[in-house]
Amino acid sequence: MPGKKASEETRREQIVAAAYAVAARTGIDGLTVRAVAERAGLSHGLVHFHFESRNRLVGALLERVLALTSVLEVSADVAGIPGTLDRFHALLRREMERLSQAPAAVRLFLEFWALGTRDPAVRARISEALEGYRAAFRVLTAEVLRAEPAAFAGVTPDGLAAVAVSF
C-alpha cells in the first residue's frame, strides 16, 4: 500500500497535527512515534524521515502548544475598538476566552512545564516564550497607563503586566 508523496511542509504539518491529537489524549510521555504515525495514516519510518528523532517531534509539538497558549494575538476586531482601556479589556477577555476554548492546549502546556523541570532545553524554550508574551503585554499596559493615568495610580507597567499575564 504505497502512499503518495507530499511536500516537506505538508507532511511535517500533518505529523505535528497527529502528534498534538495523540498527546492530548495520552499525555506527552504517552506519545509514541508509532501512535503518531498511525493517527496520521503513515508508517512510523516516515516520521523518523521527517523528524530525525522523537525528541525533535516533541520539540515541534511544544512550538505548536506555545503558539496556542503563549502568543499574544491582537486580532483586527479588537484592534479596532476605540478607547485605550476598552481595547485593553477586550483583549484580556479575548485571551481568557481563547484559552478556555483550548483546554487541551493548556493542559499540554502544563505538562511541558512539568517536563521543563527535568529538561533544560524545554525549560529554556518555555521561559523564552513567556518572556515574549510578557513583553508584548508590557507594551500594551504601558500604553494604557499613558492614556489613563488616573485609573491606575501607583501601578507600574511591569506590575500590571505581571497580574494580567498570571490570569
Partner DNA sequence: CCGGATATTGACCAGGCGTTCAATGTATTA
Partner DNA sequence: TAATACATTGAACGCCTGGTCAATATCCGG
Neighbours of 142 (CB within 10 A): 15
Helical residues (DSSP H) of 80-119, grouped into ranges: 84-100, 103-116
Check residue 7 and report its DSSP letter. -
Binding DNA (rule: CB under 7 A), the pick from 17, 24, 39, 50 is: 50
| Window of 6-14, 85-93, 112-120, 143-151 that interacts with a second copy by CB under 8 A | 112-120
Contact 66, 43 (CB under 8 A): no
**Is residue 60 a contact point for DNA (CB under 7 A)?**
no
C-alpha cell at 141: 499596559
Is there binding between residue 166 and a second copy (CB under 8 A)? no
- Residue from 44, 94, 125, 134 in contact with DNA (CB under 7 A): 44
Positive/negative CA dihedral, 154, 159, 164, 166? negative
Residue labelled with grid coordinates 508523496: 5
- For a second copy, the binding residue among 79, 114, 121, 163 (CB under 8 A) is 114
Q: Binder to DNA among 33, 61, 62, 164 (CB under 7 A)?
A: 33
Selected binder of a second copy within 1, 8, 80, 118 (CB under 8 A) = 118
**Grid cell 507600574 in the structure block, residue:** 156
Q: Which helix (H) or strand (E) holds 138?
A: helix 120-147
Residues that bind a second copy (CB under 8 A): 25-27, 29-30, 107, 110-111, 113-115, 117-118
Residues that bind DNA (CB under 7 A): 1-6, 8, 11, 31-35, 42-46, 48-50, 52-55
